[in-house]
Amino acid sequence: EAGVAQSPRYKIIEKRQSVAFWCNPISGHATLYWYQQILGQGPKLLIQFQNNGVVDDSQLPKDRFSAERLKGVDSTLKIQPAKLEDSAVYLCASSHVGDPTNEKLFFGSGTQLSVL
């Protein structure tokens, strides 16, 4: 079974530039998550999708971050304009909600963003 695919693996941009990350979840996983992981910290949820609908985006800085999952499969996360404090690893995860009591997260390898 293929895992969660993310691209690019690394991205270096200057502040005020824009950047986009892509994620392809495990086939059949209806729930998709974007997490931000700042160096030395645990992953922090930015947004959660159920199919193509948003379940939770309470921690997403909506003035600069946006995300979409148009056909309920792939997802993109965009930052515009980027700030220095956005430097982090952006992790995508997916889960199968067939059994709500068994929702294990499967993570991709992440995109490491450096904002200079």
Q: Enumerate binding residues for another protein (CB under 8 A).
A: 4, 40-45, 48, 50, 55-56, 91, 93, 100-101, 103-110
Shortest reach from residue 110's CB to another protein, in Å: 5
Percentage helix, strand, coil for the chain under 3-state DSSP, each rounded to 5? 5, 45, 50
**Cα(112)–Cα(22) distance, integer angstroms:** 12
- Closer residue to another protein in complex, CB, 18/98: 98
Shortest reach from residue 57's CB to another protein, in Å: 10
**Cα(100)–Cα(78) distance, integer angstroms:** 29
41 CB contacts (<8 Å, ≥6 apart)? none
- Closer residue to another protein in complex, CB, 27/41: 41
**Cα(111)–Cα(116) distance, integer angstroms:** 16
Shortest reach from residue 91's CB to another protein, in Å: 5
- Closer residue to another protein in complex, CB, 19/110: 110
